[in-house]
Amino acid sequence: IKNPAILLLDEATSALDNESETKILDFLTRADCGRTVITIAHRLSSVRTVDRIIGIKDGRVVEQGTPHELIEAKGLYYQLLQVLGEKDPVDEVNTQNERRCLSKQQHNFLTNDYHQVINNDNTEKDSNGLSANKSQLYRLFRAIVKLCKNDILIFVGIVFMSILYVCCLLARPFTSANLQNLIIEKSYYSHDRDFAFWAGLIILTAICISLSFIIKLLMQSIAEENLLLRIQQRSLAEILRQEVGWFDEPAHNIGNLCSLMMIDAENVKKIPGAIFGSWVFTSLAFTVMITFGLWFQWKLALAIGVMNIVFFLSYYAKEKLDRQILLQRDTADTRANNLAIEAIRNVPTVVSQHIQHLISDKYNKLLGATNGYANMLIHKRALAVASADAFCFLALTIATSYGGYLMSCNELNYIEFQTINSLLINNMWEVIIAFSSIPSFSKACTSAIRLVELFDRKPLNDPSESAGIQLSTAIRPKIEFCDVGFSYPTSPTDKILNHFNLVIDRGEKVAFIGASGCGKTTCVQLLQRFYDPIDGKVTLNGYDVRSFNISFLRSLIGYVPQEPVLFSRSIGENIAYGNNERKIEIYEIIEAAKTANIHEFITSLQEGYDTLIGARGVELSGGQKQRVAIARALVKKPKILLLDEATSALDNDSEKAVQQSLEKVMKDRTCIIVAHRLSTIQNADKIVVFSQGKIVEIGSPQQLLATKGTYYELLHAQSHKELN
């Protein structure tokens, strides 16, 4: 679409079925005119029309020339052709990787439509704008109490320190008023004991106020950090126990889940502090101070109390506007964060398409989406803040003036006046502190509701449950698909499998082939219980797989996907992750690596099996990552081996070596092979040809060739391509 002068094709047709690849290659041949084109290819059928082939080995160019020249030179290119010839007259048939069967989190950014990513307005329903009803609040506080039950002594200490702090606040105005009264009415030198007494009380009160406040804050911080740790631990555990279909939903993308674990957890930790450290304390202080004020002189206390109510209302309006502004910004920030995470995670694609400025513009637009509305609220907020501050000073003025009037009428003495005035001034500031926590508390409640929904959700299949059938580890599996119907949760109207029936006998090697979206990978996922059938059932030795203990079921299965996912750990650790039921010894890791034809490469590295491979295995090539994934599947010595186009990313030499190894490990195992190349399934006991969620052909390779049906046509088409 950008009409480039240079076109780079990195295995561009590797995931296409045979028919689609032929069309794409014909189109690319026409599109090559006037362009410089570099093609990276493992499949020689895709480079038959190039002007020059460059053979690379061990990081060096070993030969280059036209296809005809390289065949005559009998070098690397010729040897690869010979390898192909040793495999089968027909090199390969691409039966497209069934991408729709991958969860949305496994899709590469490159497969997304560029303009859809740029213009996506994130139509997810944001729960920030939803008000929490009583039922939600009840669930929220019940969940918080459960998480905080181990810190009950800390919260008791916080309440005790709050009570001590309030008592000291009550004592401070009274002691200060008495000392000031002595200074006004009496001589310091004639009443030194009285002066020393009240001055000592003031010092003691100040010490108690400081210590109680410091200890309260310290205990509050400890409780908050403990709560944050528990929330983050629980969040990850709950996310990982959800079924695969849950991650297909747009609301559960990586950005939102990371935000849930980090930002929402950080918000929620403030709830106990707001309740016990601020609101309980402020409510206690407010009640006690008003009671004492009315007891000392009800007229003055009542006058100041009325002004305080007006002040409270103004401050409440300001905090309510603050909450609306925060909620609007939080919505925009969530959308912007999702875009930023997606762009950063796929920097190579962003850079290669030169869309940095468009990503930045979209990001800035999302951040500034609420500016107009926020500015309007800010004007109202400024009015509310000004009103609150004005009423604060007005209350002080009225208290002083009216107190002076009552003193002139002999209804109030100086000690009572100063005590009441100080109590009510302290009361105002404590209420201000409480109100200042409202926006954080409201945001924390919204975050807590999202977390509680996650914590309370029961997954459709829970791998952490101990219930379910567990057979002998010496089981020889027989698999049967019985009238299975299935559609993905995000597309319930699109049937992937429809009245699908298939029996795979013990120790049988079965290959699945077919066009895009026909249900091959879906069958593999149903067997592992990534999803459950809508109709029918999948059985293992006569038992419905839904009745098995999930951990036991998956311990029987070794799975190698087309796009392997490796962790940012060492190579040895990544292989050992294949079996977490026990500690995997290094000799077992080495044995699996040798079988997968990756041992020699690993030992050539300086750190060997301790070599770190970076995030998502960025330090390894595609073929190396695939072989590590194969070793990971083999280390558990599975009874069922699932190979979902497992050799698709390997060059011909590596594929031949790995295929020979796989032939060994597939003996005495029930195997399902989703075929990427027909050369990898020539030794299969049975080939199943899919079309639109149904089986159109089934039989041994020889039987299907004899019937001259779909399999024969695919084989013939690939043979014709290679001959060309």
Tell me if residue 165 falls in helix, strand or coil. helix
Cα–Cα nearest to 718, from 76, 8, 48: 48
CA dist 714 and 708 (Å) reads 10
Q: Strand pairing of 509-514 and 670-674?
A: parallel
Query: Is the model more confident about 684 or about 58?
Result: 684
State pTM to two decimals: 0.65
pLDDT over 70 at 572, yes or no: yes
Distances (CA, A) of 250 to 162, 338, 351, 534: 45, 11, 25, 21
For β-strands 543-544 and 60-65, DSSP reports them as unpaired
Interatomic CA distance for residues 465 and 81, integer angstroms: 52
Of 561, 586, 560, 562, the C-alpha closest to 572 is: 586
Which CA distances in Å does 235 have to 49, 230, 244? 54, 8, 16
Q: Which has the closest alpha carbon to 480: 540, 550, 545? A: 540
For the segment 7-39, what is each residue's pLDDT rounded down to a tens digit? 888 877 665 656 666 677 777 777 666 788 888
Sign of the CA dihedral with 675 first, then 645, 534, and 540 last: positive
Work out the average pLDDT over 664-692. 82
Question: CA-CA distance, 187 to 404, in Å (whole number)?
Answer: 24
According to the model, what pLDDT value does residue 120 have?
Answer: 40
265 band by pLDDT with thresholds 50, 70 and 90? confident
State the virtual CA torsion across 212, 214, 218, 220 in degrees, nearest 10.
60
Backbone angles phi, psi at 637, to 5 degrees: 50, 65
Question: Which residues, at least 6 apart from 424, have a Cβ–Cβ distance to it below 8 Å?
Answer: 289, 293, 301, 304, 305, 308, 395, 399
The residue that leads in pLDDT, 136 or 212, is 212
CATH topology of domain 6-83: Rossmann fold (3.40.50)
Tell whether the torsion through CA atoms of 180, 186, 188 and 193 is positive or negative: negative
372 CB neighbour count, 10 Å cutoff:
8
Per residue in 378-434, pLDDT (tens digit) is 666 677 667 766 766 776 777 777 777 777 787 777 777 777 777 766 666 666 666
Q: What is the pLDDT of residue 346?
A: 75
State the pLDDT confidence band at 103, using cuts at 50, 70 and 90: very low
**Residue 537 pLDDT grade (very low, low, confident, very high; cuts 50, 70, 90):** very high
Say if residues 690 and 696 touch (Cβ distance below 8 Å): yes
Q: Cβ of 336: how many Cβ atoms within 10 Å? A: 20
Classify 538 as helix, strand or coil.
strand
- Does the 479-564+638-723 domain belong in CATH 1.20.1260.10? no
pLDDT confidence of 5, banded at 50, 70, 90?
confident
135 Rama sector, left if φ>0, alpha if ψ -120 to 50, beta otherwise: alpha
Q: 133 by DSSP, 3-state: which?
A: coil
- Highest-pLDDT range among 11-20, 509-518, 620-629: 509-518
Q: Cα(539)–Cα(535) distance, rounded to whole angstroms?
A: 13
* Interior angle at CA 233, CA 229 and CA 238, nearest 5: 145
Let me know if 20 is exposed, middle or buried by CB neighbors in 10 A (0-12, 13-18, 19+). Answer: middle
* Higher-pLDDT residue of 593, 274: 593
Higher pLDDT: 30 or 548? It is 548
Q: Residue 55: beta bridge partners?
A: 63
- Count H helices and E strands in the chain, helices first: 26, 14
